Structure 1
């Protein structure tokens, strides 16, 4: 009887895991915008991974005799440079493809740093004594009181203009959102019976924080991470446009906009295509974030 019951329990657990994934996908695919966003995100992620091998030219190679050549469908364009060239004769298509790698790198690093630090601080605030919690949250409120881009500009000005420093600044700016969200989730979960039961059976504070409570707080954090990914790409592009992010000749989309702004009336493609890349990527990630919210938030699930 014992062996049979344990076998049934194991099989039930095995059936439960795929059913959760199926349930997630069921609610996620109901949001068609999220599915479209997922496909677009997958395409840009593919370009980010294999961009240097897909790009028809080296992203920094200059063809001076073909400077400001229009796209192939316009008069004077050619199929050698499908989306035209920039003021230095570099292939726009190659720079856009390789630029996806920098934008996704920024998003991954910023979200990883901001989320990991924010979750740790939020857990500490949720379990710490009230005076520690108050100090942490007032510091977060002070950071949030500054406009995010302005604070990032100040931090980059202190650290020095570069892509790495821009990522550090953006991560610091985004971290308070994770702290507040994690703390709110922890305070809500701490009042529930399963946490009380774990404490009664002798679970220590660290086990309560990371094993008992944190897994049940991940749903809103995952949604916040998806939305922060797009915010990080936007802020990095803004800093690059202002000359405080990635430095030339790095093919980062914001830096490409900055280099081409004086040619906006003569060559529309040098600013239009990087701007469209930023727009489409951010829109796709936001749609993906909406789908994650619908699939992970039990309050939004329809029976």
Structure 2
């Protein structure tokens, strides 16, 4: 018997003909939040730089021009339009390093969110359907992980695994995973009380179909919002680990590593710390604004009638 009740009681079915209407409705509520739209445009710009940075950058981000060390930005006295944002202590072009650095930051965000969300969703689904004693054991483990400050736990994990960008991503994904587990479990427990799940069980839906086809699609809205917010958290944590020397290693043009390399020149050359810091600030702010817009558009309780 075909399961036709997976979305019963959840409003209009999510079949193909309705999807364009749902996308229009989503965009209608999303664009009402002007901050979210601005954040989307800024995010799109940084995503473009992340994709095409090596071809857009005017100079090799690792090439050193020893005769032009700590050159100020072009508009400041002594600057040169050859290096629009100036150079760092080794004579490397700041603009090129910032553009290429966007690729590393976005790569970290994509990998961390994918790994943390995938593992968290699967574990959350299992705990929602598992016997109570299994659920209790898993959730207590998640509580223990959440009891530690996230950056401190990531720092400890990287110290054990060894300083590198890859190990930093693994550590950040482990730290963020409990948030997805708790969120997915809570959504699953709420959905299991609804009539369409009971109808699917009566119709003979197996456990796998019940978990991944019937229940999971109706739990995705809060998970998508969490993914957007985790993206910014991953970029921040990766930059923090890079600043502490436990993330990306020189000469990688990662924004946190750039800050670490330039901190001793903060009084002599303001641009070497200001521009990487601004890149992190603007990117994280844009993603958080997008997350607010996603929450407004996907949460039915926040939609105005």
Specify which of 270, 287, 290 is matched with residue 288 of structure 1.
290
Unaligned runs of 5+ in 2: 1-13
Q: Give the structure 2 partner of residue 35 of structure 1.
A: 37
Q: Give the structure 2 partner of residue 256 of structure 1.
A: 258
Q: Give the structure 1 partner of residue 77 of structure 2.
A: 75
How much does 1:261 deviate? 0.1
Q: Could you say what the CA RMSD is over the residues aligned between the two structures, in angstroms?
A: 0.9
How much does 1:150 deviate? 0.3
> How far apart are the structure 2 equivalents of 1:146 and 1:289?
25
> How far apart are the structure 1 equivalents of 2:246 and 2:50?
23
1:84 aligns with 2:86: yes
Q: Give the structure 2 partner of residue 140 of structure 1.
A: 142
> How far apart are the structure 1 equivalents of 2:231 and 2:17?
33
How much does 1:16 deviate? 1.9
Q: Give the structure 2 partner of residue 101 of structure 1.
A: 103
**After the TM superposition, which residues 33-182 of structure 1 pair with which residues of structure 2 at under 5 Å, given as runs?**
33-182=35-184
Residue 163 of structure 2: SS of its match in structure 1?
A: coil
Aligned length: 292
> How far apart are the structure 2 equivalents of 1:139 and 1:35?
38
> How far apart are the structure 2 equivalents of 1:190 and 1:115?
21
* Deviations 1:50-86, CA, capped at 9 Å, x for gaps: 0000000001000010000000000110100000000
> How far apart are the structure 1 equivalents of 2:81 and 2:242?
30
* Deviations 1:188-219, CA, capped at 9 Å, x for gaps: 00010000000001111111100000000000
> How far apart are the structure 1 equivalents of 2:96 and 2:67?
17
Specify which of 185, 188, 195 is matched with residue 187 of structure 2.
185
> How far apart are the structure 2 equivalents of 1:13 and 1:299?
23
Greater share of helix = 1
* Deviations 1:170-193, CA, capped at 9 Å, x for gaps: 000000000000000000000100
Q: Runs of at least 4 residues of structure 1 off by over 4 A?
A: 12-15
* Deviations 1:83-133, CA, capped at 9 Å, x for gaps: 000000000000000000000000000000000000000000000000000
Q: With the length of structure 2 as denominator, give the TM-score of the two structures.
A: 0.95
**After the TM superposition, which residues 5-44 of structure 1 pair with which residues of structure 2 at under 5 Å, given as runs?**
15-44=17-46
Residue 90 of structure 1: SS of its match in structure 2?
A: coil
* Deviations 1:122-160, CA, capped at 9 Å, x for gaps: 000000000000000000000000000000000000000
Residue 269 of structure 2: SS of its match in structure 1?
A: coil
Q: With the length of structure 1 as denominator, give the TM-score of the two structures.
A: 0.96
Unaligned runs of 5+ in 1: 1-11
